[in-house]
Structure 1
Amino acid sequence: MASLDNTSWSVPGLLVGLLLALNSGVLEVHGLEVSTGKVSSTDAMNGSTVLIPCTYSSCIGIHKLYFSWHFNDNGTMTKLCDGVVPSEGVEPKVKVERSRVEFVGSSKGHNISILLWNITFEDGGEYTCFARNPKEKYRNHSATFTLRVVDKMIEVDNTLTVVIVSVLGGVIGLVIIVMVIKALVVQFLLKDDEKNKECLVNASGNDNTENGLTGAKAESKGTPKA
């Protein structure tokens, strides 16, 4: 018998409880997820071709994974394409429901992305990527990608940024030049000061010699005896 929080549990009882928890989904294991990337929207020019990305992942694995793409057409969900990935590494069988739509995914990269050809303003809106995995008791997940169709791409004016960076660079360069000049001047002054000190020492030695004050005291001669 094992004791836990003053309650007696048997080892078989713990195992049964754990299995029941797993079976009922109390202990959740991260399973199927789909994603349209870190940036879930894009701007594209009218008449261009655009990629609508989507990938799936599952730590449990997949079997007959079903996926589909839908477009929110003013509140009506219109199917663009759908397909089934039989198993890991096996390419899916895809059925395209709408013109100008091309499936470009691959099971090797867990990729179920699509291309939209020659887009128009009517193609702007939300695109939903959906997947369902029978291996996980038909767990399903979806993600949405937003497409904005424009007549021209807006160019960002970086002139002000360039000017600010140039000014800052010039100021930093000037500060460095001033610091270098200051260091050279200080070094020059120190050397000049040392030369002046050396000159003073030499001059002082010369003056003492001329005055008869050598480093060694002169011997005083005694008065000759009579």
Structure 2
Amino acid sequence: MDNGVENLIRLWESLAPGESILAEYDSLVLPYKGFHYLISWAEKRGHSIMIIDVLDTLYLYKTQLKLAGVDTGIIDKASVVKIGGRLKVGNVLKRLPANDIPKLLKDFEGFYSEYLRKVQNHSGIVIVLGLSKLLLLAESKFEGLMVIDLLIKYTGTSGRIAFYFVNVDVLENSSRYLIPLLEELATTVIRVERARKEEDIEPYVYVTVAKAINAELEGFKIKI
């Protein structure tokens, strides 16, 4: 295990149950690596893993991992809630259509509240993939704010750490006002950026903690 991955694990070990972690990246970053490190760490720690998969984002991550020669067996075992999309990846517990945001949020809340009751005595992580796509589907600012409001409701959930993977390029070009709202609700904000040397893109990324409820983590920077 290299120092970059070890430092990522140190970061995750420093998070408190109930936190909401916003992982921001742009379209030049391949976030599947961080995703795989995260679920591998969670499995080794005995945490339950729930993945909220918006519009087949999990399929994209799994395909990229396979192309990179990484074993994807851990994904096949994970519990998954699919929001939109058609492709089955993982142990799909629930499918919810994405064409009606208010109904989607109501149905999701009913399912997720029951799920939390069942696992309330176990530690776990919840990973939301493709959140920027869901926000892009919102037909009004009100619907976008409804999504944010639901995320706020589950911040502080006992025993759960939630990770939201967000492509900020998507929101910059469509619903820019949502980025600061997501950063406001998050207890920790992590920015993932491709390293650059002058005009050339380097083959590694920097993970920087831009905000943290644990003050010791602020400014923490990892090269992976």
User: Structure 2 length as normaliser, TM-score?
Assistant: 0.20
* Higher gyration radius (CA): 1
Say which structure is richer in strand. 1
Higher relative contact order (CA 8 A, sep 6+): 2
User: Structure 1 length as normaliser, TM-score?
Assistant: 0.20
